[in-house]
Chains A and B, each alone.
Chain A
């Protein structure tokens, strides 16, 4: 699966090809078809037959009836998914692969995957406000449009996830899956409060918290003038002096998100830009399975 490493995938110029490469490569690795059973809409129960997967047995029903029944979903029922991509300036950080590049490829891959599952996928590209809004559609031709918007997006300006969430929440009419790609460099309380609003409306939320490894480790040694990428304020810092302090504060920051999302049953994945895409996808699929 070495070819799914971000630095290799990024060598591929077309976002479409990249998404396809990621998803197909990932599926080859799974050795099973993704095109079944991932719908959110429950249809009916049917009796268990030997050979059926036991993880789909409804144990609660077994408890009541003393018989084995399997959950059956409406295969033709589309899942409505929204991909929320943060294109703020802070996402532009990284070496060869910036956080934004990683998030964009991951979003494209998920769009490819979802559309080939007959799910409808929408796209919201935002910074301090919504910059691009594509409503969810399940046609494969929609993928082209979606990928084009993704490819055209470039990091700029400050971010305000909470405002964006508050803005798009009324636009989401039916129960949907919201997948967020962001570095979440914002007040955690505000962000969690915004996501709670979505959750209240029976939506499912997956948050991919995209970070660079430098942000987690802070392994710098050279004294420099550190400049914030969004508001351009500077501070002269000797990294050796501040390393421990930074790490502690940053871990506290992550802990706030982790606990806040867990408390609101929001699926949260912390991913660094050197993580292979298949791992990120597997994390998504496994959690989706659990959710279903």
Chain B
């Protein structure tokens, strides 16, 4: 029932009853000798006249009742509701942080958004859904609440829009290079907004910027010099849209030390040497296959993976294996494919690696050997990982990859990826992270609580309690420390709307009928019936 206050109109119901009893007084009395004489001969007819008056009274009461129910949007259940109904509580961040001055609705925030609520409501017969309905796609529900009969809406004023940082990417942080950090900022207002941003690294403000945000997604790049080692930071937006949680974006980065790279090639690897000509790298070219390699990265050309000895595999963090046509089933097609990727790339403000970055390298970097890391747009594998070996099934001679502008950043990405190891340091809320440590680590959450992660064997530990955004610090026993940033899901910031089918599924239109329509039709039918009856 959406508008129960309309039920107050029930005081109108006595009107036809009163009219029924006093109508005779308003009618002119006409003496006429033969009408009743004629009608008296037909008692059934006279009885029908009296019954008709009573029926008309009932119909008029019915019409008024139907109209009142229609106005109050009374829900009509067409099936017996399930007695075992769940109360679903929206634990999204906004429930906690939207208005800090109010008492918190939930203690433990969880990631929200439409998918979670939708899933929960679909799973359980929902009695009450408690949600602030902010950026969860309920805007339409609140504007047009009558479309969803049976829901008592307590309307919360919706903002016109929202500004939030929804994503960030960090370039290859090699020593001596500037580190590129690209933030994606969402402006959902209808007009452009001027905002002030502050970048914090290791708890100190590093940079400030004023930015004109256009409607939609905006990108903001910072290029900063940082020392070697692990860093954590955050970008903060000063806005007053009421949503605090997406006004800060946490990130971590690790500036790599000088990387030692060994290239094994029987021919002069001029393209690779040229690409890796940087103060960040110490490159060594060898012609003979080594038994043991001193270095960080080993790039081997035209050899089979099996040919790399276990000693080599164990002694070096990363191996890039560049295969020839005869070693790889995809090699015959790859030059064209590479060109295709290259053509798609276009100009990008982020190391000109936009198209390759779009391909989900990061999301597939799970500690599972044999995983495909990079795909073509049709789903074919482009880059595979076997253990700590990256398999690139293309040679420099056979493809145009090395000629393309994306090649050098791509190669740097590969090296950085291998050096970073298996684990991602930037995750979203509720995503677990794995810690590789020889002794039991301790995780310090943003609110300075200490947790011991669960051991999953092989010197690996799993931590799952990432329900709060912020920087999680992992103490590895010695002075070594690892930082992990946890950010909300981008869907939290989206003020999108429910689709019609989602609304229907969510609010059980299968079991309930729109009361307004039903009672309007009912009122019309009763009215038609009364007209017919009056003329009978």
Interface residues, chain A, with chain B CB atoms under 8 Å away: 89-90, 93, 183, 185, 211, 214-215, 218, 220, 222-231, 233-238, 241, 245-246, 249-250, 253
Contact = CB atoms under 8 A, between A and B. Distances in A.
Interface of B: 23-24, 27-39, 41-42, 45-46, 49, 53, 534-536
A229 B35 CA distance: 10
Contacts of B535: 241
A246 B29 contact: no
Contacts of A225: 24, 27-30
A interface majority secondary structure: mixed
B interface majority secondary structure: helix
Contact of B534 (A214, A224, A229, A241): A241
A227 B41 contact: no
12 contacts: A185-B33, A211-B34, A215-B32, A218-B35, A225-B28, A228-B33, A229-B31, A231-B36, A235-B39, A235-B46, A241-B535, A253-B38
A210 to B, nearest CB: 11
A223 B26 CA distance: 11
A236 B32 contact: no
B414 to A, nearest CB: 93
A236 B54 CA distance: 13
A116 B153 CA distance: 98
Q: Would you list the 8 A-B pairs with minimal beta carbon distance, nearest first? A: A90-B33, A228-B36, A225-B27, A224-B30, A249-B38, A229-B33, A225-B29, A224-B28
A216 B534 CA distance: 24
Contacts of A214: 32
A215 B33 contact: yes
B426 to A, nearest CB: 82
A184 to B, nearest CB: 10
B34 A250 contact: yes
B28 A227 contact: no
Report which residue of A234, A235, A238 has the largest number of chain B beta carbons within 10 angstroms of its beta carbon. Answer: A235
Contact of A238 (B23, B32, B37, B534): B534
Given A227-B29, A236-B53, A250-B34, 9 more contacts: A90-B34, A185-B37, A215-B34, A226-B35, A226-B36, A227-B32, A229-B32, A245-B45, A253-B38
B35 to A, nearest CB: 5
B31 A236 contact: no
A77 B534 CA distance: 63
Contacts of B39: 235, 246, 249
A223 B38 contact: no
B31 A93 contact: yes
Contacts of A250: 34, 38
Given A241-B535, A249-B41, A249-B42, A235 B36 contact: yes
B268 to A, nearest CB: 111
Contacts of A89: 33
B290 to A, nearest CB: 111
B31 A224 contact: no
Contacts of B32: 93, 214-215, 226-229
Given A227-B29, A249-B42, A234 B24 contact: yes
A224 B29 contact: yes
A228 B35 contact: yes
B24 A236 contact: yes
A224 B27 contact: yes
Contacts of A226: 30, 32, 35-36
B38 A230 contact: no
Contacts of A222: 28
A247 to B, nearest CB: 10
Contacts of A249: 38-39, 41-42
Nearest to A90: B33
A183 B45 CA distance: 23
A234 B29 contact: yes
Nearest to A249: B38
Contacts of B46: 235
B536 A228 contact: no
A228 to B, nearest CB: 4
Given A235-B49, A241-B535, A230 B35 contact: no
A124 B140 CA distance: 89
Report which residue of B34, B42, B46 has the largest number of chain A beta carbons within 10 angstroms of its beta carbon. Answer: B34
Contacts of A234: 24, 29
A238 B49 CA distance: 11
Contacts of A231: 36
A241 B536 contact: yes
A228 B53 CA distance: 19
A248 to B, nearest CB: 9
A237 B35 contact: yes
Nearest to A248: B38
A151 to B, nearest CB: 23
Nearest to B27: A225
Contacts of A93: 31-33
Contacts of B42: 249
A222 B26 CA distance: 13
B36 to A, nearest CB: 4
Nearest to A93: B33
A246 B53 contact: no
Contact of B38 (A233, A241, A246): A246
Contacts of B28: 222, 224-225
A30 B37 CA distance: 39
Contacts of A218: 35
Nearest to B30: A224
Nearest to B35: A226
Report which residue of B32, B38, B41 has the largest number of chain A beta carbons within 10 angstroms of its beta carbon. Answer: B32
Contacts of A228: 32-33, 35-37
Contacts of B536: 241
